[in-house]
Structure 1
Amino acid sequence: MAGLLEHPGYDEERLKRAAEQLPCREVQAGMLLSLMGEPHQYCYPSIFIYGHRASGKSHVINVLMKELELPHATLSCVECVSVALLFEQVLRSFFGCDVASLLPRSPSLTDFVRIYRQQSPARQTRYIVMEKAELLRDADANLLPALLRLQELVEDNVTVILLSEIVWDTFRPNTGCFEPLLLHFPDYSKVELQQILSQDRHPSFSAELYSFYVSVLLGVFYSVCRDLRELRHLAALNFSKFCEPLAEGKVKETDTHKLWKNIEPHLKKAMQTVYLREVSSLQWEQMQQMEEETGALKGLSAHTHVELPFYSKFLLIAAYLASYNPARTDKRFFLKHHGKIKKTNFLKKNEKTTNHLLGPKPFPLDRLLAIFYSVVDGRVAPTASIFSQISSLVTLQLLAQVSHDDQLDSPKYKCAVSLEFICNISRTVNFDIMKYLYDFL
């Protein structure tokens, strides 16, 4: 496939080395080279490269810049928290620290352009590569339009390459701007993921064995995860478990069916940790060892050592209180100025504390959020992050959704953890849950 990177302006050996590092991305690399042209030619002022996460955008750019030895400045819009830092990094990459020090304390775009134009013109195209470019939408209104036509402003052979996970239509300012050339990086197909992941084979085992392991991994995860970095992480995390029967001498490399039967249940359990990162790789391995030793722990929700985000812990506490406390007691527990409530009115006659024996009861989403905002420390705005963490708790089987998807009213949930589990979670956030449980008054 190295022929796809043929270009009259670049050395063939360099192009061949670059192609070897770009499996399944030779077509996109070839298109990018066509847009860039020969080194001494003026390139198009700005190029916008977009595609989903882990689709090879940054990798292709970095390999081409490094192997072809092109003058470039690679910036992360996450790290460049100010315009001054962005201008400084560009000048330092192209002209050195002495030129970057000429910028005033709070430089404007005019200062940057003035200092740039005072330097010697480029002998070949200079490239400014900006990763996570979607953050530029939150910068000064004139920054993005200026970067798109920077070549015209500085009167030099410079091209700005923007890398983003979202489409260009969400960038375009209302006032209009110079339109960059668009280049799309599609997601990797299953065959391409198989080819790329198979290159990471363990030196102690044959390429055929690791290729089979990758096919098993993709057979389990491909329907829920297409992210190359996530799949590579999962492949490295679970390969030792796959090789256990081989290390113990129970099977041979050719016994693929036995190897598949041994690893498939383990991979299905690992599906609960995809993207969420509530547990680290080390925690996941420790939990699997604990399960093998005791044989009593089943499923991720049974582990008391799961590390949850801060607000997820309070959401789980609120869910437990909503499941085991009658709804009529919420005012008594969570309303500060509820007035005096006599115990005779609060407790029904001959009522027995059997909520924990009867099991968790379903509760609506609005009640969960009301309790959550009452028990959490500090003011928390209702954001999409809170709702996504509720979905994560359902995925982790710590919450169970009991209402149907086609139900028009608010969804209902039940808490699926034990009293011991929620007490352990409460201790980590210094919350005394026993004071809020109706059964233990």
Structure 2
Amino acid sequence: MSSSPLPPPLQQQRHPGYEEERLRRVAEQLPCREVQAGMLLSLMGEPQQYSLPCIFIYGHRASGKSYVVNVLLKELELPHATISCAECITAALLFEQVLLALFGGDAAATLPRYPSLSDFVRIYRHHRSRAPAEQTRYIVLEKAELLRDMDANLLSVLVRLQELVEDNLTVLLLSELVWDTFRPNTGCLEPLPLHFPDYTKAELHQILSRDRHPSYSADLYASYIHILLGIFYAVCRDLRELRHLAALNFTKFCEPVTEGKAKESDTHKLWRNIEPHLKKAMQTVYLREVSSLEWEKMQQVETETGPLRGLSAHTHVELPFYSKFLLIAAYLASYNPARTDKRFFVKHHGKIKKTKFLKKNEKTSNHLLGPKPFPLDRLLAIFYSVVDSRVAPTASIFSQISSLVTLQLLTQVSHVDQLDAPKYKCAVSMDFICAVSRTVNFDIIKYLYDFL
């Protein structure tokens, strides 16, 4: 079965109503996204035509959704309002931004203090009648998944806003989630979905190679991007993160060339110089717990004093909130005797004699003996005691325990088929758990039997 041929470049596709020069500029700014831009432009139609009421654009993070839409609307000079739902935390702010962008400050000022959906529709229709649309107006809502947390009927109104305001208007919803997670129980008009796939490795190479340093040849930068993707592509396919990593580490890659120890063609020497550095940088992909300036300072410290230590002190604390408390509970369960749980974790435990609590024959530290196994029910009991907020025993909590095992922060010591009473051990060091505890303002020393 032969694959379908690729569509021609954007400027060669037939899009009547738009100048060829503008389409050419759009195509130059959208490498590896000409297919999606052409499909979206076909759905939008000519500027004066009525477009679809709502188009739902979805795809993973950094797949070019917002960029493609904004380039099209700005370069083709189409009237639009681009709004981030993360910034407009209420429907009132969203209504204000839409009216401000499409009709100006006077329209936004006519909104009541607590506007309803009907207020917004009424004011929009009033200003639409005073300024009829010569071209299709577009409302772009980024991070549209946050609309689900606003008014119950807001999403149902937005997908059919064209009908309600009787205007040549299209709403573009941009999200990382699929439409199935949006659909209200009461039902609503279905928007037309448009998927943006992830960039392939070849496409990422093509895009990142365009950012080459002016002081070096294009071939050198292309070989650097090839090395970078060879290390990071398996764990990170986010274009923005890869672009940040490429800019941050290029100086280290060119260091032998700058110092005269290698030529640009000595790819093998450059590879050996940068490989260990990139592998250390891979430990902090997405985390950004150090700034670019701090990272460069850490590089200098590594060169002058020895191996880099800064990252290893940061990476382990980047866990979900409840996972941190689960790990803390696991550490306490591994290093505290079970008989001490009542003393540490029960608020109204009554009087416990110190002679009974501290056994005289226990001369060896539990930390020297190593972690001891504990059952799942003890782990959860300690977890619910140390976490401040009340947490229901949901599947999410149990899945985070599995994730800690996968990350080798916990070790399952019972058999996998032993579902009724699984047992675990905590596999992290004292320094590790103290660093994790500091991130959630929990003083773990007060709860350790060895430090009484």
TM over 0.5: yes
1:104 to 97, 112, 122: 112
Q: Which amino acid aligns with 1:412?
A: Y
CA contact (8 A) 1:363 1:414 kept: no
Distance of 1:265 and 1:405 partners within structure 2: 37
Which of residues 144, 162, 178 in structure 2 aligns to 1:167?
A: 178
Counterpart code for 2:74 = K
Aligned 1:174-323 pairs, distance under 5 A: 174-295=185-306, 300-301=311-312, 303=313, 317-323=328-334
Equivalent residue in structure 2 for 1:57, among 42, 56, 65: 65
* Partner in structure 1 of residue 103 of structure 2: 95
Matches within 5 A, 1:414-425: 414-419=426-431
User: Of the candidates 149, 157, 176, which is equivalent to residue 146 of structure 1?
Assistant: 157
SS of alignment partner, residue 81 of structure 1: coil
Select between 374-383 and 156-165 the one with higher mean Cα deviation. Answer: 374-383
Aligned match of 2:4: none
Letter in 2 for 1:43: S
AA aligned opposite 2:282: M
Amino acid at match of 2:154: L
Pair 1:224–1:403, CA change in 2 (3 A): farther
* 1:86 equivalent among 61, 83, 94: 94
The one-letter amino acid of 2:210's match is Q
Cα separation, 2, equivalents of 1:253 and 1:80: 49
CA 1:440 to 1:105, structure 2 compared with 1: closer, same or farther past 3 Å? closer
Gaps of 5+ in 1: none
Aligned letter for 1:374? S
Per-residue deviation, residues 149-200 of structure 1 (Å, max 9, x unmatched): 2122111111111111111222222332222222111111110011111111
For 1:34, the equivalent position in structure 2 comes to 42
* Deviation by residue 1:329-359 (Cα, 9 ceiling, x = unmatched): 2222222222333344334452222322233
Structure 1 residues 130 and 4: alpha-carbon distance in aligned structure 2, compared to 1, 3 A threshold = farther
Q: Is the 8 A contact 1:278 1:307 kept in 2?
A: no
Q: What displacement does 1:394 show? A: 7.3
Q: Which of these residues, 325, 344, 348, is aligned with residue 333 of structure 1?
A: 344
| TM-score normalized by the length of structure 1 | 0.87
Residue of structure 2 in register with 1:72 after alignment:
80
The 5-angstrom pairing of residues 124-135 of structure 1 reads 124-135=135-146
Matching residue's letter, 1:33: L
Q: Residues 31 and 2 of structure 1: is their aligned pair in 2 closer, same or farther, counting only changes over 3 Å? A: closer
**Compared with structure 1, are the counterparts of its residues 14 and 304 closer, same or farther at alpha carbon in structure 2 (3 Å cutoff)?**
closer
Distance change (3 Å), C-alpha of 1:225 and 1:426 = closer
Name the CA distance, whole Å, in 2 between partners of 1:281 and 1:412.
39
- Structure 1 pair 6/162, CA: closer, same or farther in 2 (3 Å)? same
TM-superposition CA deviations, 1:265-311 (whole Å, max 9, x none) = 2222222212344444445444454444443666954x379765777
Matched position secondary structure for 1:199: helix
Q: Distance in 2 between matches of 1:233 and 1:440?
A: 44
Tell me the matched-pair count.
Answer: 438
CA spacing shift, 1:440–1:165, aligned 2, 3 Å? closer
Quote the Cα distance in structure 2 between the aligned partners of 1:336 and 1:294: 49
Letter in 1 for 2:216: F
Q: Which moved more, 1:324-333 or 1:65-74?
A: 324-333
Unaligned runs of 5+ in 2: 1-8
Q: Which amino acid aligns with 1:227?
A: D
Structure-2 change in CA distance of 1:136 and 1:341 (3 Å): same
Q: Within 2, Cα distance between the matches of 1:241 and 1:384?
A: 45
Deviates more, 1:358-367 or 1:220-229: 358-367
1 CA distance for matches of 2:318 and 2:18?
51
Alpha-carbon shift at residue 115 of structure 1 (Å): 1.9
The answer (yes or no) to whether the contact 1:127–1:160 under 8 Å persists in 2 is yes
CA contact (8 A) 1:5 1:16 kept: no
What amino acid is aligned across from residue 335 of structure 1 in structure 2? V
Structure 2 distance, partners of 1:142, 1:265, is 53
For 1:78-109, what per-residue CA distance to the aligned partner results, in whole angstroms no more than 9, with x for missing partners?
Answer: 11222222111111111111122112222222
What is the root-mean-square deviation of aligned Cα atoms in Å?
3.2
